[in-house]
Structure 1
Amino acid sequence: IASGVIAPKAAWPWQASLQYDNIHQCGATLISNTWLVTAAHCFQKYKNPHQWTVSFGTKINPPLMKRNVRRFIIHEKYRSAAREYDIAVVQVSSRVTFSDDIRQICLPEASASFQPNLTVHITGFGALYYGGESQNDLREARVKIISDDVCKQPQVYGNDIKPGMFCAGYMEGIYDACRGDAGGPLVTRDLKDTWYLIGIVSWGDNCGQKDKPGVYTQVTYYRNWIASKTGI
């Protein structure tokens, strides 16, 4: 997370680290005691589920809890050359035990909508700047949803913004997701203090650059797909 701060313990209990051969690759978000949601592009290189693990807690080492991956399901329409359909669900081999530090987040209804300028939160173990290394401590930052009208301007991302994507951050840059944050959560809370997963860190140009905000997979757009794969 570019310009983020270290997250307090138990602040984001649904955040997970997806690891291949015990090395952090991506973030993921716990949506039940057996399923997580992440980005499809996380599995581009490494296809064997048995070498993936998921760890929980605000530190990668030592983790609060670890689970093996039983399987992952990548969206059928995902193609690595494009950035569309960048969503996958991950099933762990044994149930996660919930505690103050580890629990699921709610998914919004498919019909829910979230307005531009809404303040949302991103978290992750990713780099602090473009080209940097992943971090052992979870970091957090506050960003704002950016309207499609703004994000589709030619100097921003133009026609690269497709249905099922949205932008968040600031046009002046600074606060952003970065490499290693991909697959992780963008969340907001409602008036009743319930937290919802509304975005999945997907792509962006560099980290925290002017006119290049982060681009996120829109959870409501894929809500029915998630339900069809996980029953959630």
Structure 2
Amino acid sequence: MSSLVRFMKRTLAVGAVALAAVSLQPGTATAGPAPVVGGTRAAQGEFPFMVRLSMGCGGALYTQQIVLTAAHCVSGSGNNTSITATAGVVDLNSSSAIKVKSTKVLRAPGYNGTGKDWALIKLARPINLPTLKIAETKAYDNGTFTVAGWGATREGGSQQRYLMKATVPFVSDAACNAAYSDLVPSEEICAGYLDQGGVDTCQGDSGGPMFRRDNAGAWIQVGIVSWGIGCARPDYPGVYTEVSTFAAQIKSAAATL
């Protein structure tokens, strides 16, 4: 990966200013890229499955009581009542926001900071909102994707009050591997604008979904915001957990919560 440093796309606390860039050691979570760069504000109700997590990450409702997010956003598996999930709003300060505490966390087995970047958070009660189904085959791992989050809108910026959205095109494993020598192609999928940059997820977007329409026109999740070099830099696309690779494990893990 040359002399550049790999960054996870999270912040350490809701409302925190983006932290200075620091290197990531296996098994740790740290600051890196910021909300969606080069995007526009989402409309209320446009992505009802979106969840904001109190540790400074995003997520999506896998079921009405389970949030799918990134492994690097959580410290491990087990009982956990310290996380608050906020849902149902574009504006995090809205009085109509739904806030629910966590009860359990399940981090991907074998996660050590490289690949396998997924986790499940069980909530204390169901949230009566639409869920986001996950891709179970690689049929949708191509084309143009939508990303959304409350992360920074520029590298080194602060997280946002309003949910932002953007579209990013698929980047092949070969092209992405040219940028990142430690890419795990069997477990990760890349998206972004290689030549010009300008659109990307960033700090505070970690754990949020990358999704597209399926053949029936419904939203389907193909990625989880994971890491990258900076935010929206040319030649450095965003790296996402390839959901289809882990779909069976996610389904099985959710059944145990």
* Structure 1 and Structure 2 fold alike (TM over 0.5): yes
Alignment of 1:177-192 (within 5 A): 177-192=201-216
Say yes or no: does 1:71 pair with 2:88. Answer: no
Q: What percentage of aligned pairs have identical amino acids?
A: 30
Give structure 1 stretches of 5+ with no counterpart. Answer: none
Q: Which of the residues 163, 168, 173 maps onto 2:191?
A: 168
Please list, as runs of the form range in 1=range in 2, the aligned pairs for 1:65-104 lying within 5 A after superposition.
Answer: 65-79=98-112, 82-98=113-129, 103-104=130-131
Cα distance in 1 for partners of 2:251, 2:79 equals: 24
Give the structure 2 partner of residue 158 of structure 1: 181
| Residues 158-188 of structure 1 deviation map (CA, whole Å, 9 limit, x = unaligned) | 2433421010011021000000000001000
Distance 1:199 1:151 in 2: 15
Name the structure 2 match of 1:11: 46
Superposed CA offset, 1:51-82 (max 9, x none): 21100121211252111101110011111xx3
> Is the alpha carbon distance of 1:223 and 1:152 closer, same or farther for their aligned partners in structure 2, counting shifts above 3 Å?
same
- The reply to whether residue 223 of structure 1 matches residue 257 of structure 2 is no
Q: Structure 1 counterpart of 2:60, which letter? A: T
Please report how far the alpha carbon of residue 83 of structure 1 lies from its aligned counterpart in structure 2 after TM superposition: 2.3
Measured in 2, the distance between the counterparts of 1:114 and 1:228 equals 21
Instruction: Name the residue aligned to 1:28.
Output: 59
Which residue of structure 2 aligns with residue 58 of structure 1?
90
C-alpha separation in 2, matches of 1:54 and 1:143: 26
TM-score by length of structure 1 reads: 0.89
Note if contact 1:123-1:184 (Cα within 8 Å) is conserved in structure 2.
yes
How far the C-alpha of 1:115 sits from its partner, in A, is 4.8
Partner of 1:208: 232
The answer to whether the 8 A contact 1:151-1:161 is kept is: no
RMSD, aligned α-carbons: 1.9
Q: One-letter code of the match for 2:254?
A: T
Q: How many residues align?
A: 218
For the pair 1:108 / 2:135, whether they are aligned, the reply is yes
Contact 1:145 1:167 in 2 (8 A): yes
Taking the aligned partners of 1:114 and 1:185, their CA distance within structure 2 comes to 14
- Could you tell me how far 1:48 is from its partner in structure 2? 7.4
2:106 counterpart letter in structure 1: I
Distance 1:129 1:51 in 2: 29
* 2:174 partner SS: helix
Residues 19-45 of structure 1: CA deviation (Å, up to 9, x unaligned): 04xxxx000000111111000111149
User: Is the contact between residue 75 and residue 86 of structure 1 (CA under 8 Å) also seen in structure 2?
Assistant: yes
Question: What's the secondary structure of 2:139's corresponding residue?
Answer: coil
Pairwise CA distance, 1:143: 0.4
**Structure-1 separation of matches of 2:141 and 2:98:** 35
1:50 counterpart SS class: coil
Gaps of at least 5 residues in structure 2 are: 1-35
Match of 1:40 in 2: 71
SS at match of 2:63: coil
TM-score, length of structure 2 as denominator length: 0.80
2:165 aligned with 1:134, yes or no?
no
1:96 maps to a residue whose letter is: I
